[in-house]
Amino acid sequence: AQSVTQLDSQVPVFEEAPVELRCNYSSSVSVYLFWYVQYPNQGLQLLLKYLSGSTLVKGINGFEAEFNKSQTSFHLRKPSVHISDTAEYFCAVNTGGFKTIFGAGTRLFVKA
Amino acid sequence: SAVISQKPSRDICQRGTSLTIQCQVDSQVTMMFWYRQQPGQSLTLIATANQGSEATYESGFVIDKFPISRPNLTFSTLTVSNMSPEDSSIYLCSGTGQGVYNEQFFGPGTRLTVL
């Protein structure tokens, strides 16, 4: 069975600093990987996804993630964060079925 | 992409009552799901809503407590029955869009408080 581990429950960072949110997954088969963002009092929205091809995936709002098969990781990065990036971020994995497994979430808190 | 709306957006209910949450998608989706998200936690899948047949429930969730309907490809309801304070949570509707394999779209959620 697949699983997703988000290594940090909270990440505080100053505005304009770089940030990395870590995600590791476990699966014995090929995976599709996703990052979702949830702003306060809203539902989740897709940031980016890896289905196949280039391992570096660019998403909305300047975020990018790199799929590393050997390390079973899919870390999310942004070179310079804004106050408006404060949100909960969820890593998710799907192995081709209809169910997606979500990580526990990482709360990104951007400080002025 | 698909836009998903939910009603109500929030409610405060008394113990022992039931609440039905509606989920409407603006386009046809292959699958629809209902999740529960308790404060500060990740999403827990309650069930997969199947069109025209009984929903498929995850371990720990039963039809008597969370009856689900999906009469067509764009609409589903979740009822939280005989509520207790432990049911206080955010309930999220989600769907996978046709042609966008495995990407899920989410509604804004229904914030339920049970007194």
> Rounded to a whole number, what is the largest CA-CA distance in chain B?
42
pLDDT given at position B102 = 65
Tens digits of per-residue pLDDT, B19-36?
999 999 988 788 899 999
- Indicate the residue of A43, A96, A103 with minimum beta-carbon distance to B106: A43
pLDDT band at B61 (very low <50, low <70, confident <90, very high): very high
pLDDT given at position A81 = 97
pLDDT given at position B98 = 61
User: Nearest to residue B21, comparing CAs of B101, B90, B95, B72?
Assistant: B90
Tens digits of per-residue pLDDT, A12-44?
999 999 999 999 998 877 788 999 999 988 888
pLDDT given at position B16 = 97
Whether chain A has a CB inside 8 Å of the CB on B43: the answer is: yes
User: Nearest to residue A41, comparing CAs of A100, A88, A109?
Assistant: A88
In chain A, DSSP assigns E strands to 3-6, 10-14, 19-21, 23-26, 32-38, 44-50, 56-58, 64-68, 73-78, 87-94, 101-102, 106-111
pLDDT given at position B39 = 78
- Indicate the residue of A43, A46, A102 with minimum beta-carbon distance to B42: A102
Closest Cα in chain A, distance from residue B102 (Å): 7
Whether chain A has a CB inside 8 Å of the CB on B102: the answer is: yes
Write the burial class of residue A42 (CB in 10 Å: 0-12 exposed, 13-18 middle, 19+ buried): middle
pLDDT band at B41 (very low <50, low <70, confident <90, very high): confident
